[in-house]
Amino acid sequence: MPNNPADDSEPLPAPTVLPGPAHVWQYPAHNLIAWQPQGVMDDELLDEIGEWLCRIEKAAAPEKRFVDFSRLTEVAVRTNHLFEFARKRAEQFTGVATVKSALFSKDWVGFGIARMYESLMRGTPIDARPFRDRVTAAIWLDVPAEILKLEDKPAPLH
């Protein structure tokens, strides 16, 4: 675990961009995938990320995920669709070990969606937790807090 997740004195390993939805970074050194959806979070965008996660989990599932809702302009996910999405994720998850999914939102609507998802995923191998503070999320994920700002430029895939 980093001694101080808020300490940015050490250079961070560069992330790589992954094929799939826009605004997704991979930090192999920290076994982390980060996604920063932008614009409107609707049923279609939620399904897109779910399908993409299912594909990468079949290859090599990272143990940690970070979703940053701060760039959303609107949340238009229907409640029943969120229930269906959570049910599918629990059924499709192929990982053997538990994964940590930190869901970050300062907005109350996004945070409410994250809390609902957390409750729907209880008892599954997907340990989802909502956060309103990046440093707290970094501590829980055991990664440097600087990474969760998602301000770095990903390196292209090789």
CATH topology of domain 16-149: Transcription Regulator spoIIAA (3.30.750)
Q: State the pLDDT at residue 1.
A: 45
Residue 71 and residue 38 in contact, taking contact as beta carbons nearer than 8 Å: yes
pLDDT digits (tens, 9 = 90+) for 117-155: 999 999 988 999 999 999 999 999 999 999 999 876 655
Is 105 a residue whose pLDDT tops 70?
yes
- Confidence label for 58 from pLDDT (cuts 50, 70 and 90): confident
Pairwise pLDDT comparison (49 vs 34), residue with the higher score: 34
pLDDT in tens, 7-32: 555 555 555 555 556 678 888 899 99
Return the bridge partners of 150, or none.
none
- Residue 52 binned pLDDT confidence (cut-offs 50, 70, 90): confident
High-pLDDT (> 70) share of the chain, %:
78
User: pLDDT (tens digit, 9 = 90+) per residue, 63-95?
Assistant: 899 999 999 999 999 999 999 999 998 888 766
CB atoms within 10 A of CB 91: 8
Q: Exposed e or buried b for every residue in 10-45, given b needs 16+ CB within 10 A? A: eeeeebeeeeeeeebbbbeebbbbbbbbeeebbeeb
In terms of average pLDDT, the best of 41-50, 61-70, 96-105, 139-148 is: 139-148
27 closest CA partner among 2, 46, 45, 51: 2
pLDDT of residue 25: 81
